Structure 1
């Protein structure tokens, strides 16, 4: 049986083709592609420093004040952003260093709750209902979305704003509907059309936010 792969897929995975291939050329192409992607994310992260540096400092100070007053951080998102939300909660609650652990919860980890709400009420409310149940004025809501347009994420932010939480949005592309919303107090947009670059840079953003929050809590910011 032939394993020949053609078209765009064949260009991505030339090693799947059963016809003779120039291995050296394939390896050279992979190396070039890897270097280009690495340069792209480095440049993107550098641009974020200039764009969001002071905003991150301001947000970190707000977060530090919230934690000092007994607040809790709630993180949420869909798909890959749900994994990032869990990473945010893990980072604040169980830091990789001797840094101060801070109360943080991911609203994406309870599959039973999310599927119950989705089935019984609607997927648009899976985060808003949790914010309404657990959130208090002075807590922090961190919403992640590659597109910035996820309805359930926006509903979660709107509910957080109604209840007096500090609202933080992390989006990609041009920010989408998140950038148009008036409920996001601290917005960080990664201006890239690549989902991969967006999520890589978003990871950098929330790690920097965590570090700055730790500095602010220690009186160093």
Structure 2
């Protein structure tokens, strides 16, 4: 699905009562099936942008259109259903349920979509992220990196049309980082899924043909943001 952000503005009130603008984006878009790495420094608004794109956070103004459907003015329950059926999200904080095993967390993620839970697919995806021998481990029995891999498998298992990933390789080592990237990119390419991946590292961004720097189109970016440079547009 395509993703179009138009005239997006989002601000928060600081403890001192002042308004702090996090996002001020005239325009940003992805075509259907496109894979884009979004690069920015810590605190620059990357996660807020993903939350706005997913319909988790409502912008103060502007519109978000996903697959030709404007989600900005949807009632919250309608927006939640739209997201559960069409958008996959790899959260930086994982959001795994502690009482459930790795396999159960992936199956539960599937249950929120309109498609029936596919146990075979869940097991296959967990195997592809190197957790085939950890299917029945709970989050507390997994390392931080392993929890992150479960969250990737969960997001992919619901076969979304748009996949949003917030630093999905931040807590994993080199080989597993590569496995996660290859799994996401290959799965999205095979199924014509649009992928927007947030990262702060050039190593990850270099594996995408399109790299966008948040500071280049977010007019709320502060002058203290660290420029990102790797020779790409």
Name the larger-Rg structure.
Answer: 1
Higher share in strand:
2
Alignment TM-score, normalising by the size of structure 1? 0.37
Q: Which one scores higher on RCO, CA 8 angstroms, separation ≥ 6?
A: 2
Alignment TM-score, normalising by the size of structure 2? 0.36
Higher share in helix:
1
